[in-house]
A and B are shown apart, each in its own frame.
Chain A
Amino acid sequence: MKLNRRYTRNIRENLSFYIASTILTIVTLLLYFLFNIAGNAILDFSEDFYERNQVEDAHFTTYMAIPEEELAKLSDTYHVTTEAQRYINIETDGVTARVFSRTEKVDLYEVTQGKDAERDNEIVISEGYAVANAVSIGSRMKIGDKEYTVAGFMQRPDYLYMLESEEDAYKNVSTFYLCYMTGSAFEALGDTGCQYLVRYTGDSDITGFRKAVHEQYYMRSYSSAAENPRITMVEQQAQMFIVMAYVLLCILPLIAVVLISIIISRKVKSEQRMIGTLSALGYKKGQLMRHYAGFAVIPGLVGGVFTAIISAIAAQPLSEMGLQDYEPMHVAGHLNPLAALLGLLVPTALYVIAALLSVRRLLKKDTVLLLSGNADGGKKKLRRVLAGNKMSFRIKLAIRSLLGNPARSLVILLGVFLGFFIMLLGQGFFDSINRMGDTAAEAAGSFEHQYILNEMLTENPYGGDTMLVSAVEHDGGSKLSVIGTTDSNPYLEPKDADGNIISIENGYYITSLAQLTLGWQTGDTVTVYNPLSLEKKEIQIAGVIQNHVQKSIITSKRLAAELTGLDENSFNCIVSSGALSIPEAKIAQESQRSDITEQAKTMTAQMDFLLQMIIGLGIVICIAAVYVAVNMLVTESRSNISMLKVLGYRDKQINKIVLRTHHILLPIGILLAIPCTYAAAHAFFLMMVDYGVMLIDTYISPKSYILSILLTAGCYFGSLWLLRRKVKKVDMIESLKDNRE
């Protein structure tokens, strides 16, 4: 069709529209691709890595050592693969090396760089620590009194997220690392601890195995892989990205596609005289629909191709983007061809459909009306509001323009809404996690120091307040902690949802996080199991304590002892406001209130790049949407603008009349986005609870509000500023000629 020569001319004439629409398509599709690639890369890697290196299904410790031949017997009897692993923690100059003996069946380590330790003076260390502390292969490292040469770096499947203790909330690659050495060098280290690693299959009798181990060797601790954050955090991270891609960010491309579809249909409507003329000249409906579909294909196809190219090029860095918290997993990021094809086809198809529908709708109208440009009356009633009102014509014109062109107004509203929403959401995540550092510490109690002892004591010569801390498993198989304390403990002040202090001594109280994740309610009778003996107990829930951080049962020492089978007159935890002089050998774990805050700060510091990227995307979406829509307004108001010029209005005055039309949408978009941001952030944090993370309360700081408002307003007014030139360029004589024609 000769008519198709109009494409290049039309693109040239409407270049800014095509550029802005294409950018909008790219940016929003990129958000989807980015998180999809990152999430899937982690999942692909971990799945392969776990299989290759035989990741454990659980690990446990016992009070009595299990002889090697007995371990083999247990393995055969209960169809499990189990292996003992010895380890020792050695602190040297404030840095702890956890040295492991080599295993053959479970939790194998993989040398990722360099070579394995072959001589007694060689070691391989965890790669994350080496990278974070600039340790290179060949470096000399001191462990205890002895110096070793680093022969290589390693990764281990149950330590991809490097937690020093499973109770820690955040990784430690600055003062903690894993280490392997030759068997003889390991033996020379002296007394070591022992843990048992186990892998189950479909045939395994897990309950029988655990009961047998407890009965014969007294289980001290049992931790399943599903409860081990060093393992689960990897999948959580991947799921978080995929959830973000599909549930949250998938919405944005759809909204952007709707937005551009609206713009395209309005563009088609602005061509109604041409459509009328071509129809009068004998062009068939199908020919015209195909012709205008061609215009719509451009932003979709170009945007899709560019996004696919950018994603393919950036797939690797994008995949590594989410790995900052982990051991340097050597993921292979790639763009899924199906996702690329969908990214290319879906927006293009939607834009084409929008154009086709618009042309079809117009062709149903009278050709004479099309020729006169009056086929699309818009929302006539809304264009005539306030006819008798005494307010200035400027305000009335703006209101009628807003209400009479709902699609155009919606594009601007969506642009402001989306831009602000993304910026505020990004900062909301940041603020919430930062604040979680403080609230988590508060929820745990007002103590500054907490010591978990590695033995039960009946006398407390150290000071502070004592607690009985243990754990139970619920029907679902995951653990929740049991805290036995007294109402007089000055460091704990359990409160209900209304802020009233609760007496916990006469019943089993659960935290709000436990209520949320387990669905238990006050009055419910629930079944729990001793994680060591698997003994079954039924308890009735007496109430709920407001605490989104710990998944716990809080009760008196007596009831805690009853539940866990421990002695009610003993304790294994001391909390205090100051540091206590407890011998190192008696401490299993020591934590300070400031640790949690520090961990949250480190976490947000690592998120900084992601945050900047999200804010940048918000800015681009806001500018592009507002620019495209106001550009449309200026184009559609050409005859009014030229008439105002003819009547003696200066450019500045015209700008005020035309470009101010949508100002009201700025605060409306912002106000609408605020509850949506809270809802989205809360939904996201709730979703993350399913992956075993504490419930983070959504918090957005005043600084984030101000910054997001300023950035959104800056984008909005910046777009208008760019469009002043377009208003200035409207030629009075050309417009008058157009009207004559």
Chain B
Amino acid sequence: MLIRVKDAVKKYGKGETEVYALDHAELELDEGKICVILGPSGSGKSTLLNMLGGLDTLDSGELTVAGRKVTGLSQEQRTDYRKEDVGFVFQFYNLIPDLTVEENIEVVADISAHPLDMDEVLRALDIEKYRRRFPKELSGGQQQRVAIARAMIKNPKLLLCDELTGALDTKSSRQVLKFVEKMNRQFGTTVVIITHNEAIAGMADQVIRLKDGQVSESLLNQRKIPAAELVL
């Protein structure tokens, strides 16, 4: 078991404006699998991703990743956790605009203890020929592949993808998902994809549905299909 979330609670606001983003949520994810978390806006998906990634802390409950108790880590320890164990891919790529593809990836490689080979990652994501280009010179799909490369260069235990196809057209979305699948297969990385898009659930090993901050459904996908065959 890679991830275990137990009785997780996260509230925002106070008094009348108090909102439970996570309301005693519970879930477990296996190592090396692809997990798709689905849910409407305000269901707590992004909050859950923030907790899994060590970006934010729970008000109560417990979160364990690869045997490491993330709840209770100090700010510095959470920074180290993000540095060593987690890779992030966001909807709008969040690449540093003044750095080339290669340099954006180098930003992470530079602080990683055992980074993967840059060329191998660039090849794996088919962006080798863009290595000296700046983000603005690339299409959305290409930028998202760079974001995946940046996340993967540290060979993380966990790859967190937040609406990674949200800003892409169907063709690019499929291509990006194919690469995520490839990363999972090639490097054995556990992948958590947070999305609105029900169709993406087809490529998952495990599908979790969130509603009002609670896990409403968690099931193993018996009929997993390759990303290339998804009808997006």
Q: Do A and B bind each other?
A: yes
- List residues of A whose CB falls within 8 A of some B CB: 383-384, 387-388, 392-393, 396-397, 400-401, 404, 639-640, 643-650, 653, 732-733, 736, 739-740
B residues less than 8 Å from A646 (CB atoms): 53, 55, 82, 88, 94
Question: Does B76 lie within 8 Å of A650, measured CB to CB?
Answer: yes
Question: Do B96 and A643 have beta carbons less than 8 Å apart?
Answer: yes
CB atoms of B84 and A387 under 8 A apart: no
Complex A-B: 26 CB contacts under 8 Å: A383-B97, A387-B100, A387-B132, A393-B103, A393-B110, A396-B103, A397-B96, A400-B98, A640-B96, A643-B94, A643-B96, A644-B107, A645-B79, A646-B82, A646-B94, A647-B82, A648-B83, A648-B108, A649-B83, A650-B79, A653-B111, A733-B50, A733-B56, A736-B90, A736-B94, A740-B91
Asked whether B79 lies within 8 Å of A648 as measured between CB atoms, the reply is yes
**With the chains together, A401 CA to B56 CA distance in Å?**
30
Beta-carbon contact of A388 and B132 below 8 Å: yes
Known contacts A388-B132, A393-B99, A646-B88; 14 additional CB pairs below 8 A are A383-B97, A393-B103, A397-B98, A400-B98, A643-B96, A647-B88, A647-B108, A648-B82, A648-B84, A648-B108, A649-B111, A732-B55, A736-B55, A739-B94
What is the CB-to-nearest-CB distance from A632 to chain B, in angstroms, rounded to a whole number? 16
- Distance A396 CA – B56 CA, assembled complex (angstroms): 31
CB distance from A327 to the nearest CB of B (A): 63
Minimal Cβ-Cβ distance residue in A for B88 = A646
Q: Does B212 contact A (CB under 8 A)?
A: no
Which B residues touch A736, using CB under 8 A? Answer: 55, 90, 94
Instruction: Tell me the residues in window 39-98 of chain B with beta carbons closer than 8 Å to chain A beta carbons.
Output: 50, 53, 55-56, 76, 79-84, 86, 88, 90-92, 94, 96-98
Shortest distance between the CB of B201 and any CB in chain A (Å): 22
- 8 interchain residue pairs of minimum CB distance: A648-B83, A393-B103, A648-B82, A400-B98, A387-B132, A393-B106, A643-B94, A739-B92
B181 vs chain A, min Cβ distance (A): 23
With the chains together, A542 CA to B80 CA distance in Å?
82
Give the shortest distance, in Å, between B138 (CB) and chain A (any CB).
13
Chain A min CB distance to B180 (Å): 18
A-chain residues with CB within 8 Å of residue B20 when the two chains form the complex: none
What is the minimal beta-carbon distance from B121 to any residue of chain A, in angstroms? 15
Find the A residue at minimum CB distance from B166. A740
The residues of A that contact B55 with a CB separation of less than 8 Å are 646, 732-733, 736
B→A interface (CB under 8 Å): 50, 53, 55-56, 76, 79-84, 86, 88, 90-92, 94, 96-100, 103, 106-108, 110-111, 132, 134, 150
Find chain B residues with CB under 8 A from A644 CB: 107
Contact partners of B79 in chain A: CB under 8 A: 645, 648-650
Whole-angstrom distance between the Cβ of A276 and the nearest chain B Cβ: 17
Chain B residue nearest to A394 in the complex (CB): B110
A383 to B97, CA, bound (A): 9
B90 to chain A: which residues have CB within 8 Å? 736, 739-740
Q: Which residues of B contact A643 (CB under 8 A)?
A: 94, 96
Distance between B155 CB and nearest chain A CB, rounded to angstroms: 13
- In Å, the complex CA distance between A647 and B86 comes to 8
Contacts of A653 in B (CB 8 A): 111
Report B-chain residues with C-beta under 8 Å of the C-beta of A732: 55
B50 partner residues in chain A, CB cutoff 8 A: 733
Residues of B within 8 Å of A647, CB to CB, are: 82-83, 88, 107-108, 111, 150
Provide the bound-state CA to CA distance between A184 and B107, in Å. 96
Name which residue of chain A comes closest to B83, CB basis.
A648
Least CB distance, A179 to chain B, in whole angstroms? 77
Q: Shortest beta-carbon distance, A366 to chain B, in Å?
A: 16
Closest partner residue, chain A, to B167 (CB atom): A740
A397 to B106, CA, bound (A): 12
How far apart sit A393 and B110, CA to CA, in the bound complex (Å)? 9
| Chain B, Cβ-Cβ closest to A645 | B79
A384 in contact with B111 (CB, 8 Å): no
How many Å from the CB of A460 to the closest CB on chain B? 82
Residue of B nearest to A657 (CB): B107
> In angstroms, how far is the closest chain A Cβ from the Cβ of B53?
7
A residues in contact with B88, CB < 8 Å: 646-647
In the complex, which residues of chain B have a beta carbon less than 8 angstroms from the beta carbon of A388?
132
Q: Which residue of A lies closest to B137 (CB)?
A: A384
Residue of B nearest to A647 (CB): B108
Q: Report Cα–Cα, A639/B98, bound state, in Å.
A: 12
CA distance A404 to B132 in the complex (A): 18
- Cα(A400)–Cα(B103), bound, Å: 13
Interface-centre pick from B98, B110, B132 (highest chain A CB count, 10 A): B98
What are the residues of chain A within 8 A of B107 when measuring CB–CB? 393, 644, 647
Cβ-defined contact, B82 with A383, below 8 A: no
Given A387-B132, A639-B94, residue A648 in contact with residue B80 (CB < 8 A): yes
List chain A residues, Cβ under 8 A from B106.
Answer: 393
Q: Which residues of B contact A649 (CB under 8 A)?
A: 79, 83, 111
- With both chains docked as a complex, state the minimum distance between the C-beta of A480 and any C-beta of chain B, in angstroms: 64
Q: Which residue of B lies closest to A640 (CB)?
A: B96
For the complex, give the distance between the alpha carbons of A639 and B83 in Å: 18
Q: What chain A residues lie within 8 Å of B110 (beta carbons)?
A: 392-393
With the chains together, A387 CA to B100 CA distance in Å?
Answer: 7
The distance in angstroms between the C-alpha atoms of A639 and B94, with both chains bound, is: 8
Given contacts A387-B132, A396-B103, contact A401 B98 (CB under 8 A): yes
A650 CA to B75 CA in the complex, in Å?
10
* Chain A, residue nearest B160 (CB): A646
- A383 partner residues in chain B, CB cutoff 8 A: 97-98, 134
Interface contact A387-B80, CB-CB below 8 Å: no
A650–B83 Cα distance when bound, in Å, is 9
The chain A residue with its CB closest to the CB of B50 is A733
Instruction: Tell me the smallest distance from the CB of B192 to a CB of chain A, in Å.
Output: 15
Set of chain A residues within 8 Å of B83, measured between Cβ atoms: 647-649
Among A397, A400, A648, A653: residue with most chain B CB under 10 A:
A648
Q: How far is the CB of B116 from chain A (nearest CB, A)?
A: 15
A740 to B106, CA, bound (A): 24
Instruction: Report the bound CA distance from A646 to B82 in whole Å.
Output: 7
